[in-house]
Copies of this chain bind each other. A is one copy, B any other.
Amino acid sequence: MAGVDGGIMFPADKLRGWTQEVFQKIGVSRDDATLLTDSLIEANLRGVDTHGITRMLCVYVERIRKGVMSAKSKLVVVREKASTALIDCNNSIGQVGAARAMRMAIEKAGQTGVAFTAVTHSNHYGMAAYWAMAALTHGMIGFSSTNAPAAVAPTGGCTAMFGTNPFAIAIPAGRELPVVLDLATTVVARGRIVLHAKQDKPLAPGWAFDHRGIPTTDPHTAMKGLLAPIGGYKGYGIALAVDFLCGVVLTGSNYGTHFPGFLADNMIDPTDVGSVFAAVNVESFMDLPEFTATIDKALQEIKGSTRAEGVKRIYVPGEIEFDMKAERLAKGIPIPEQVVKDFIALGRELAIPFPET
């Protein structure tokens, strides 16, 4: 989980309203600000604070104000077929490109059964699940993946060549909550290593390598080293495939070692990531009511299967996040004190006061 525990609680709607105003103030159109804000707040609601306003708002604002990311949307469809599209994002906001690409994938899949779209020269697009989930209300299975600056070495290597390269798959259900799988191809996120380093707590074996590619459980050594991919060479292979699909192959964006640093530590060059999106129309394979009923049954079987000792509940992918959303809609979104201070300062600067709790 990429969530925060402590902090001051704010109602989602207050954060939403303020965030939208902030983006509009720095030149983002009303529609784009609404879209971008929704993707960030949804991440916070689902407990994925690393992709919510908590970590992303100030970074995005700085990039836009410094002109490293374009406030204005400049999307151009450069190639298009009945079931595919390539969109040049021209350094527009990642979420704006992603929304267009996912919308095109859904429309095309409605016609032809399946569609696969890609954006090039794009930016950080937020939480991968947000885009996959857009397919759900259309009775479709959604997919999305993006590449990212390098943090993972190939098996046997010690140069970071691949990002955490996440992918998400969303599958609609009936009475049950939909399946929403969203995972980075590393065992843990870098944020987890940072947290352990702050607390001087050893890492679990298998999380990270030092800068020479040797496994380490020392969080400080790991901070200067590499993240371990899931399943060793298997995760390396998945990360490579994502990088090739999103970066090299289909979009002509950055890949491998060619990224100009991470989001927050390079405020000069565009990130230039590539992302891919897909939608599969369920009705092309099975009638939707039969499909959702079978998914419900399969989910109930998994959730009702024998639990290991001491385990209270078996979760299916996305369930923890849906629970979290219900809780945060009721109790508010926690914003750590330091981040609240940053938001108050930003609000003052832009003359859009950050709301009281």
Q: Which residues on A are within 8 Å of B, measured CB to CB?
A: 79, 81-84, 86, 111-116, 118, 141, 153-159, 161, 169, 171, 179, 181, 183, 187, 205-206, 212-214, 230-232, 234-238, 240-241, 243-245, 248-252, 255-257, 278, 280-282, 284-286, 290-291, 294-295, 298, 301-302, 305-309, 311, 313-317
Q: Are B83 and A298 in contact (CB under 8 A)?
A: no
Which residue of the partner chain, among B179, B236, B241, B284, contacts A241 with CB atoms under 8 Å? Answer: B179
Q: Are B308 and A114 in contact (CB under 8 A)?
A: no
Q: Are A305 and B241 in contact (CB under 8 A)?
A: no
Given contacts A81-B284, A230-B231, A317-B240, contact A154 B118 (CB under 8 A): no
Distance between A179 CB and nearest chain B CB, rounded to angstroms: 7
Query: How many copies are assembled?
Result: 2
Distance between A16 CB and nearest chain B CB, rounded to angstroms: 29
Given contacts A171-B249, A249-B282, A251-B285, contact A244 B295 (CB under 8 A): yes
Q: Are A294 and B159 in contact (CB under 8 A)?
A: no
Q: Are A112 and B141 in contact (CB under 8 A)?
A: no
Q: Are A240 and B302 in contact (CB under 8 A)?
A: yes
Given contacts A83-B115, A156-B307, A308-B158, contact A181 B237 (CB under 8 A): yes
Given contacts A81-B112, A252-B286, contact A314 B141 (CB under 8 A): no
